[in-house]
Structures are given as C-alpha cells and as structure tokens.
Copies of this chain bind each other. A is one copy, B any other.
Amino acid sequence: MQNIPLVFWLIPIASICALGMAWFFFLSMMKEDEGTPRMKEIAEYVRRGAMAYLTQQYKVVLYVFIALAALFAFMAYVLHVQNPWVPFAFLTGGLFSGLAGFFGMKTATYASARTANAARKSLDSGLKIAFRSGAVMGLTVVGLGLLDIAVWFLVLNGLTEDSLITITTTMLTFGMGASTQALFARVGGGIYTKAADVGADIVGKVEADIPEDDPRNPATIADNVGDNVGDVAGMGADLYESYCGSILSTAALGAAAYALVPEMQLKAVIAPMLIAAVGVFLSLLGIFLVRTKEGATMRDLLKSLSLGTNVSAVLIALATFGILYSLGVQNWLGLSFSVISGLAAGVIIGQATEYYTSHSYKPTQKISEAGLTGSATVIIKGIGTGMISTCIPVVTIGVAIMLSYMCANGFDLSMSSESLAHGLYGVGIAAVGMLSTLGITLATDAYGPIADNAGGNAEMSKLGEEVRHRTDALDALGNTTAATGKGFAIGSAALTALALLASYIEEIKIAMERADVMMTNVKGEVISAAQATIPDFMNFFQVNLMNPKVLVGAFIGAMAAFLFCGLTMEAVGRAAQKMVVEVRRQFREIAGILEGKATPDYRRCVEISTRAAQHEMILPSFLAILIPIIVGCVLGVAGVLGLLVGGLAGGFTLAVFMANAGGSWDNAKKNIEEGNFGGKGSFAHKATIVGDTVGDPFKDTSGPSLNILIKLMSMVSIVMAGLTVAFI
C-alpha cells in the first residue's frame, strides 16, 4: 500500500466535473423544443429503434462477459494463474464502456430533432445544440474513464498488499473489458448502420433516384438508427477503450520502469492519470470557447471549432511541463517532449487524413474526375489513393515512436533494460498526451452524427430547403473536424498497442513469479523472472526474428487483420443485399409508395439491420479473442510477440487504408454534388455513388474496428499470460 499524494485527488475531481458538466449540458439540451409533431414522431421512431437495438446487443455481450468472467474466475481461484481481482476489473471495464456508449446515444437521439428545430432559427443555434450534445458524450467518456481508474486504483492500493506492478497490470484487465465491449459495439453497430446505409443508397439514390433520407425510402429510419448505434454508441465505447487503454498501459509501464526507484514509481504511475485529468479541465475550457455570433458563416463555425480544439491541445502541451515538473518526475523535461511528439504526430496524421479525404485537395478531386470514366475507375482510384495515404501516417508514427522513446530516456539507444523501460514509458505517455483532450475532440466527433440525424429528421419532416441546407452545412463541418479526431484515434491506438507489447512481457514475468518458474539469463545462470533483463527475457523465450515461431506469428497477425476486415465486409455486403431486396419489394408491392401516398414499412428494415448485426458480429469478435489464445498455446511467448507485432504493423496500415479510401470516396461524391464534373444526377455522380457505397463499410465498419482489434489482441494476450506460462 502506497501513500497517495494529495495531487491524486485531482483525478476524481476532474472525473466528477466532467460528469457534472455532461449532466448540465444534457439538461439544457432537453429544455429545447423538439419541434413539430412530425419531427417528434420521427425522433421517437429513431430513438425507439436505437434503444431496442442497443438493448439486444447488450444482451449478447452480457453472455460473452459472463462466460469470460467465469473463465477468469476459474483462472484466478482454481488455477491460481491470475490475480483474484481480475474478473471484477474486467466486468467494470465492460460495464463502463457500455454506459459511455449508452449515455452518448441517448443524448444523441434526443438532440437530433432539437438540432433540426434550432436550425430552423439559425445555423448558430443548430451548431450550439449539436455541439453541446456531442460534448455530453465526450465528457461522459472521459468522466467515466477517470472515475473507473481512480476508484480501482484506490481500492487495489487500499485493500491489497500488491506491488504497484501487480496493481497496474490487474487494472489493465479493466482495459480488456472495455476493449471487448468496444469491439462488439463497433462491429455490431458498424454492420447495423452500413447495412441500412448501403441498402438505402443502392435502391434509393441509384435506382429510384430519390434523395438521401427521403421518407419514401423504407430503409431511411434504419439508416438514422444506424448512425446512432454505430457512429455514436460504437464510437463512444471505442474511444472509452482507447482513453483508458492508453492511461492504464502507461501506468503499468511506469510501474515497471521505475520498479527499483520507490520514490519515483508511484509518480510514474500517477503521471498519465494526472495529464488526463488536467486535459479534462482544458477540454472544458475549449468547449466553452466554441461559440459563434448571430449570422456566422461556415468559415466562422469551423474557426470556432478549431479554436476550441487547438487551444486545448496547446494548453495541454504547456501544462504537461508543469504537471511533470511539480510532480517531481525524473526527466520531466524529456517526458514532456515525448507528450509533445505524440500530440504533434496526432495533428500531422489528422492533416494528412484531411489532405487525402477532403475534396479541397487533389487526391479526392481526382477520384471525382475518375467518375467521368465510370465506377470501375472510381474504385481503382480510391483504392490506390487509400493505399498511398498510408505512407505519411506510418512514417509519422515511426518518427513519433523514435522521438518519444528517445526524449524519455535521454537519447539512449543502448537497449539496456533501464533505457528501454524509460523509453517505452515515453511512448506510452505520448499516447496519453494525444488523447488527453478527448473531452473536446470527441465532442467535435460525436457532433457529426447528431447533425447528420438532424438532417435526416429535417428531410423526413419536410422542413424545407433552407433548414436542410443548414443541417448539411453542420454535417460537412463535422466531416472536416472528424479528420483530425481520426488522426488522434488511430495514432494513439498504434502507440498504445506498442505500450501493451511491453506490458505483455511484464505480465509474463508476473505469471512466472506467481507460478515460481525460474529462468536462465543470457549467461546461463538461473534467475527469477523479476531479475530478468529484456535480453534475458528475449533469449529465454527465443523471441528473435530468426525464430520461425516469431515469423509465423507475424504472418498470422497480419492475416488476422485481413480476415477480420473480410468478415465484417462480407457481413455488411450480405445484410445490405437483404436490405436492397426488401426495399425493392416494398417499392414494388406497396402501391403509391413512390408518390408519397403510402407509408413504407420502416419496421421491416429496422428488423433486417438488427438481426444482421446481432448475428454477424459474433464470428469476427470471437476470432479476435481466440486467435491470440490459440497462438499462445501453440507457438508460446515467441509466437504471441510475433503475432502482436505483425497484427500491429499490418493492422495499423490496413486501418489507415480503409478509413482514408472510404473517406475520400464519400467526399468525391460530395464534390460532384456541389456541381463539379457534371453535378448531381450525372454519369459521374452515379459512378461516385458506387464508390461512396463501397467506402461505407471501409470507413465505418472494418476500418475503425481494426483500431480495437490490434489493442484487444494485446489485451487478451496479457490476460491469458498465465495460461501461456502454464503451457511452457
């Protein structure tokens, strides 16, 4: 048990502030008027559909959690290869991640009609409601995350005699709970939303030539429900997991890095939590900076949003120096530069994402141009652009890894155990820095689907051209800010996964200590696992790049990313086909539907999406959990490390490719809709709609799920380390 320094209490305080402000924003949004009866009715449809789906999804996930918690309990209480707190930590991680998604979605479903209604007055009022509602989600995620972390830390530190290393690695299983929940949320939600979206687009836009969100389209309610369960609830669970994962893995690295310096160890554990806590306050500041005057233009809006996020980011960079200095962390200066390199990498990746996906730049314009020669060249161009776009993010992450590593250990590349541990701690803290302003970046992200849904509501309620224009403007704004958000999300995933690699090694050592297994060092002397240096460890477990087990592991890791994407793509394809068949059937069989005289059967389409998502999310999610376990049992520690490196390198690149290809197809279509290359309804427009449709599962199902996959595989390996050791 350690004496908790006073400054620690800043963490629960930040958490409570975040949750309180989220509650406040929620209440003030609820006070707004929801608009005409028609608007209320539509909002109610969407809300009910979304809640019904989420309830069903949570049921499936509940079974999975019960099964896994039982397994961990068996490992902890019967086999004694895991810490007794693990099943509980795992369950709370899942619960809180689910709660974050739930609250975010509840807010979003209440906010969309209100945003549409406010947009009837002015662009500015619409922005305010949508953004503040997005902020509810951002603040809920960081508030719940810090709460869970603070409480667990206090409990484990207060009730057990465990070392800080054991405490922090136990808390990591809480991250595994969050990852598992997030994976199901992203995959299930992603399949739901894209089945509806693709189906609605193919029959509605391409075949029947009716606009998006047209009430005559039977899949339109399902599409709007999908935005909520996929883009809101899924994203909430996802980023909750990223946020906690980066803090927890860095804390674990800190405990390991300074294991022999007792006065530093606790500080190193607390530092990432503190940076995150201060980030909450700065995010709040940023959120209040987002305000526009009456009659603001798009430029003003964008400026206002950017101001909020940029001020928060710059301030957290500056504050880090203060936090680390006043905490008295060794090498506070270097570590602060690690944080800055992480932040800078996030910004650069965000800019690169924008360059490759925004139609203000050449790559996406060229895809629009390819529309002139048909859909095949649009697809070829988009895939080419997406693949090329992996270059900058990968090089940036590479540079950020090297810089944050070297800043943290005083430019020591000797690979001594100490220098390595300090360096990896630096990589972890760079990821924490990237995500520290999540409160506001997630607000700008979550605001997108709210604006999107507001547009849907406006269209279905026939609110008129002008309102729809305003909601479209809000939506477009969301797309631009989302690019930066994506940069941070994907960059932090890569850095966190790297930190988790190191945590895996620590966990293997702990498991060996627990099982009283001795090992030999490089000189052939028998030592305990705790005494092992990294070269000892690598040598003992034969983790070397010539070991076929490592290489086979790396092959399987890269393949796992492709397999996982393939399964989710196929799931969307299958579900979308069913949706198309159903929508065509309704157009054919329900008389007067296309003239707007008969109401489509929205419920059937909601059912198709729900059932498809429920059914199709099982296999890919299970694979993500099973592959590291199987590799661990068959190929041992060497194979698992190969798997994680292969999965990380292959998965990160694949994720960037899919996200960017999808984004640029989307905007290539928007570019044409703005009147270029023939404009709406032209041959090129039809060609780019095909691109957009293909891109939907790229950017909203398979791509973002990969972020979780690469971390979940590490998490599973860490939690199962005890079993792997038992197999040695």
Chain B residues closer than 8 Å to A423, beta-carbon distance? 548
Are the CB atoms of B375 and A563 closer together than 8 Å?
no
Digit string of A398-425 for contact with B (CB within 8 Å is 1, else 0)?
A: 1001100100000001010000100110
A694 touches B376 (CB 8 A): yes
A381 within 8 A of B: yes
Task: Tell me if A192 is interfacial: C-beta within 8 Å of chain B.
Answer: no
How would residues 643 to 685 of chain A score, 1 for a CB under 8 Å from any chain B CB and 0 otherwise? 0011011101110010000000000000000000000000000
Which residues of A (369-412) have their CB < 8 Å from a CB of B? 369-370, 372-377, 379-381, 383-391, 394-395, 397-398, 401-402, 405
Q: Which residues of B contact A201 (CB under 8 A)?
A: 376
Provide the residues of chain B in CB contact with A548, threshold 8 Å: 401-402, 405, 423, 427, 498
User: By the criterion of a CB under 8 Å from any partner CB, how many residues of chain A are at the interface?
Assistant: 96
* One of A173-181, A436-444, A478-486, A552-560 contacting the partner: A552-560
Q: Is the CB of B557 within 8 A of A649?
A: yes
Contact across chains for A198 and B376 when beta carbons are under 8 A apart: yes
**Contact of A519 with B by CB under 8 A:** no
| Known A375-B690, A376-B690, A576-B377: A384·B569 in contact at CB below 8 Å | yes
Tell me which residues from 438 to 467 in chain A have a Cβ below 8 Å from any Cβ of chain B.
none
A501 interface hit (Cβ, 8 Å): yes
Closest chain B residue to A394, Cβ basis: B559
A382 to chain B: closest CB distance in Å? Answer: 9
A383 cross-chain contacts in B, Cβ below 8 A: 566, 569, 694
Contact A573 to B653, CB < 8 A, known contacts A198-B376, A384-B566, A402-B548: no
Q: Is B653 touching A559 in the complex (CB atoms < 8 A)? A: yes
Could you tell me the distance in whole angstroms from the C-beta of A481 to the nearest C-beta in chain B?
A: 26
Residues of the B chain whose Cβ atoms lie less than 8 Å from the Cβ of A576: 373, 377, 380
Contacts of A420 in B (CB 8 A): 546-547
Copies in the complex: 2
Q: Is A351's beta carbon under 8 Å from chain B?
A: no
Instruction: Tell me which residues from 477 to 508 in chain A have a Cβ below 8 Å from any Cβ of chain B.
Output: 494, 498, 501-502, 505
- A234 part of interface (Cβ distance < 8 Å): no
Q: Contact: A581 with B546, CB < 8 Å?
A: no
Question: How far, in Å, is A101 (CB) from chain B's closest CB?
Answer: 26
B535:A522 contact, CB within 8 angstroms: yes
Q: Which of A6-14, A18-26, A327-335, A537-545 binds B?
A: A537-545
Interface residues of A in 249-284 (CB under 8 A from B): none
- B650 x A577 contact (CB < 8 A): no
Contact partners of A566 in chain B: CB under 8 A: 383-390
| B397 and A570 contact, CB distance less than 8 A | no
A555 lies within 8 A of B381 (CB): no
Interface string of A697-717 (1 = CB under 8 A from B): 100000000000000000000
Question: Which residues does chain B contribute within 8 Å of A401, judged by CB atoms?
Answer: 548, 551-552
Question: In the docked arrangement, what's the CA distance between A324 and B705, Å?
Answer: 50
A565 in the interface (beta carbon within 8 A): yes
Which residues of chain B are near A558, meaning CB under 8 Å? 394, 558, 649-650, 652-653
Establish whether residues A554 and B522, one from each chain, have CB atoms under 8 Å apart when the complex forms. no
A570 contacts B388, C-beta separation under 8 Å: yes
The reply to whether the CB of A129 lies closer than 8 angstroms to some CB of chain B is: no
Of the candidates B198, B551, B556, the one whose C-beta lies within 8 Å of that of A645 is B551
Asked whether A86 is an interface residue with its Cβ less than 8 Å from the other chain, the reply is no
Contacts of A397 in B (CB 8 A): 555
B505 touches A546 (CB 8 A): yes
Of B535, B581, B648, the residue contacting A544 (CB under 8 A) is B535
Give the distance in Å from the alpha carbon of A340 to the alpha carbon of B575 in the complex.
43
Residues B502 and A546 in contact, CB atoms below 8 Å apart:
yes
Q: In the docked arrangement, what's the CA distance between A405 and B542, Å? A: 15
- CB neighbours (8 Å) of A538 from chain B are 538, 544-546
The smallest C-beta distance from A470 to any residue of chain B, in angstroms, reads 30
Given the contacts A374-B580, A538-B544, A380 and B573 also touching, CB distance less than 8 Å: yes
A202 within 8 A of B: yes
Q: Does A68 reach chain B (CB closer than 8 Å)?
A: no
State whether the Cβ of A523 lies closer than 8 Å to any Cβ in chain B: yes
Bound: A370/B576 CA distance, A: 10
The reply to whether A380 and B198 form a contact with Cβ atoms under 8 Å apart is yes
Q: Are B534 and A544 in contact (CB under 8 A)?
A: yes
- With a CB–CB cut-off of 8 A, which chain B residues contact A505? 546
The answer on a CB contact under 8 Å between B381 and A379 is no
CA distance A535 to B654 in the complex (A): 32
Residue of B nearest to A199 (CB): B373
Can you list 27 residue pairs at the A/B interface with Cβ under 8 Å? A372-B577, A373-B580, A376-B693, A379-B379, A380-B570, A385-B566, A387-B562, A387-B563, A388-B567, A390-B559, A390-B566, A394-B558, A395-B556, A402-B548, A415-B542, A415-B547, A420-B547, A501-B551, A523-B523, A535-B544, A539-B539, A545-B645, A551-B648, A551-B649, A559-B653, A645-B646, A649-B649
For the complex of A and B, the 4 pairs showing the least CB-CB separation, nearest first, are A387-B566, A384-B570, A384-B569, A388-B566
Given A415-B547, A558-B652, A649-B649, 11 additional A-B pairs, CB 8 A: A373-B576, A374-B580, A387-B563, A415-B546, A420-B546, A505-B546, A522-B539, A558-B558, A558-B653, A562-B653, A645-B646
